[in-house]
């Protein structure tokens, strides 16, 4: 299915208003055979950019027409590579014959209490909050050369070619949610982050392997607002000047022995 980017001129709009509009788009998107991948809000210049898969540009326009009436000023077809470069910050090697190192650092996030939050605020308000949550994480990914692998429903899985970029991304994610809390935004959103590294296997646009499983379980073991990493990520991070708390052994689901984890010091 073709990919499209549309642009809306929204001078004076707030991030909250844009998030609500995007949530409204998502509610009617399936009816028009549109799948939104993400959006980007340029608050300084008053512009919103939406990325979506659709049979045609007219389908994208129909969604916006029904959901809120704010029609795009421009819609252009884009390649998947273009979208991934924008959302994931993928860096092409100078020499395209270069064989890439398969070693990756895997990052998982998880929103604390997402089920309870959904029940407390209702589906529509929850979708607005989830959109805001996604935007904080995706901004951090784009700034840190991370590639989003998939959305897990209440979190995001991402892959990095460099452990230092992954650690900076994790810290930026937590800083983003801390900033939201410091600004008094309610309800409060808190996420846990886990990282591990290894050589995952890619299959059908997903990646698998022990590093992926370990990163997921480490994320599950982290407290909200904190970042836990594996010993490999810790060793790579120390080489780049990052600091960590002393090792702590955790019993992780699926592992027969306790696993050493380290908390990133921010």
Q: Spell out the domain ranges in the chain.
A: 3-78, 104-263
Query: CB-based contacts of 49: which residues, under 8 Å, 6+ apart?
Result: 5, 6, 7, 8, 39, 40, 42
Contact 169, 143 (CB under 8 A): yes
Res 38: pLDDT: 73
Contacts 24+ apart (CB under 8 A), 128-132: 128/16, 128/19, 128/20, 128/23, 129/187, 129/189, 130/154, 131/19, 131/22, 131/23, 131/26, 132/15, 132/16, 132/19, 132/180, 132/189
Res 100: pLDDT: 52
Right CATH number for 104-263 from 3.40.50.10490, 3.20.20.80, 3.40.50.10540, 3.30.70.1230? 3.30.70.1230
Res 99: pLDDT: 39
Contact 264, 167 (CB under 8 A): yes
Q: What would the two tokens of residue 34 be? A: 């549109």
Alpha helices in 69-227 (DSSP H): 80-88, 114-121, 123-143, 163-182, 210-221
Per cent of the chain over pLDDT 90 is 52
Q: Are 3-78 and 104-263 in the same CATH fold?
A: yes
13 backbone dihedrals φ, ψ, rounded to 5°? -70, 150
Considering just the CA atoms, what is the radius of gyration of the chain in Å?
19
pLDDT tens per residue, range 182-237? 999 899 999 999 999 987 655 555 566 788 899 999 999 999 999 999 999 999 99
Query: Is the C-alpha dihedral spanning 92, 98, 99, 102 positive or negative?
Result: negative
pLDDT tens per residue, range 80-132? 555 554 444 433 334 433 435 678 999 999 999 999 999 999 988 999 899 89
Assigned CATH class of 3-78: alpha beta
Query: CB-based contacts of 248: which residues, under 8 Å, 6+ apart?
Result: 260, 261, 262, 263
């Amino acid at each position: 299915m073709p990919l499209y980017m549309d642009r809306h001129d929204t001078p004076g709009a707030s991030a909250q208003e844009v998030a609500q509009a995007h949530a409204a788009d998502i509610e009617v998107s399936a009816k028009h055979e549109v799948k939104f991948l993400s959006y980007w809000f340029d608050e300084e210049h008053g512009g919103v950019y939406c990325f979506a898969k659709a049979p045609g540009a007219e389908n994208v326009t129909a969604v916006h027409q029904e959901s809120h009436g704010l029609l795009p000023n421009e819609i252009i077809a884009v390649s998947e590579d273009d979208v991934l470069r924008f959302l994931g910050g993928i860096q092409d090697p100078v020499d395209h014959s270069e064989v890439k190192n398969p070693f990756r650092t895997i990052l998982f996030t998880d929103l604390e209490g997402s089920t309870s939050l959904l029940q407390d605020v209702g589906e529509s308000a929850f979708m607005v909050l989830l959109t805001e949550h996604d935007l904080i994480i995706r901004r951090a990914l784009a700034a840190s050369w991370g590639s989003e692998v998939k959305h897990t429903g209440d979190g995001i899985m991402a892959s990095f070619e460099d452990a230092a970029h992954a650690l900076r991304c994790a810290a930026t994610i937590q800083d983003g949610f801390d900033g939201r809390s410091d600004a008094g935004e309610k309800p409060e959103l808190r996420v846990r982050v886990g990282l591990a590294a290894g050589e995952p296997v890619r299959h059908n646009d997903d990646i698998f392997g022990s590093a992926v499983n370990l990163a997921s379980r480490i994320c599950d073991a982290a407290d909200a607002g904190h970042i836990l990493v594996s010993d490999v990520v810790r060793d790579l991070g120390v080489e780049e000047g990052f600091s960590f708390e002393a090792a702590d052994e955790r019993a992780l689901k699926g592992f027969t022995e306790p696993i050493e984890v380290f908390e990133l010091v921010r």
